[in-house]
Chains A and B, each alone.
Chain A
Amino acid sequence: KNEVEQSPQNLTAQEGEFITINCSYSVGISALHWLQQHPGGGIVSLFMLSSGKKKHGRLIATINIQEKHSSLHITASHPRDSAVYICAAPEMYQGAQKLVFGQGTRLTINP
């Protein structure tokens, strides 16, 4: 059973700061999801990555498969980045796959 842990649980920063959110998981995986959840509750997929690094705009995700660890970075943070960021790892069961979610990191960017 995969355990997914995120840190920090809450993060408040000033506009422009560089943000790092961490995710650790217990069982080796093929890929990891980073998701964003806005106050209305909807989930948006940001990244799925299986190795190295991915970049999309000001968001960068890295993963170290050997260390079972991933990070999400936000450069030049902006108040519109305020949201809950969630990592999720796949868990296989008899050929089927489901996602196991971290508890989320609530990010608040103040102007």
Chain B
Amino acid sequence: EPEVTQTPSHQVTQMGQEVILRCVPISNHLYFYWYRQILGQKVEFLVSFYNNEISEKSEIFDDQFSVERPDGSNFTLKIRSTKLEDSAMYFCASRGQGVEAFFGQGTRLTVV
């Protein structure tokens, strides 16, 4: 069964460092998303991406964040200068023409 894969599963980084979280969505999907979940809180929307551009972003998704689909298969989330409050579980999701979204297993980001 096709699945969304995320790497790494866990990333520890120093405050101020750049991190890139990687996702391989399901191959024929068109819509791509990043969500995050701070420990103990709800999962919250960060950004959606369609047709090689951002279709919507939340107020969390400031200039420190960027997304890219560099090669038609990977979908990356970059945080330029990590802060302690960026520590969270980051989920990638993808969707085809239908309503159902498929999630990756997440990357746990710890900023120290």
Contacts and interface: CB of A to CB of B under 8 A. Distances in A.
Interface of A: 30-31, 33, 35, 41-45, 48, 50, 86, 88, 90, 93-104
Contacts, number: 62
A93 B45 CA distance: 13
B108 A97 contact: no
Interface of B: 31, 33, 35, 37, 41-45, 48, 50, 55-56, 89, 91, 93, 95, 99-103, 105-106, 108
15 contacts: A31-B99, A31-B100, A35-B103, A42-B105, A43-B105, A44-B103, A50-B99, A88-B43, A94-B55, A96-B55, A97-B31, A98-B56, A99-B43, A101-B44, A103-B42
A101 B43 CA distance: 6
What secondary structure prevails in chain B residues at the interface with A?
strand
Nearest to A32: B99
Nearest to A44: B103
B31 A45 contact: no
A104 B99 CA distance: 21
B11 to A, nearest CB: 13
Among A44, A48, A96, the one with the most B-chain Cβ atoms within 10 Å of its Cβ is A96
Nearest to B46: A98
Contact of A96 (B37, B50, B105): B50
Nearest to B54: A96
Among B89, B103, B108, the one with the most A-chain Cβ atoms within 10 Å of its Cβ is B103
Contacts of B37: 41
Given A30-B99, A96-B50, A97-B48, 10 more contacts: A41-B37, A41-B105, A41-B106, A42-B105, A43-B103, A43-B106, A45-B101, A98-B33, A99-B43, A101-B42
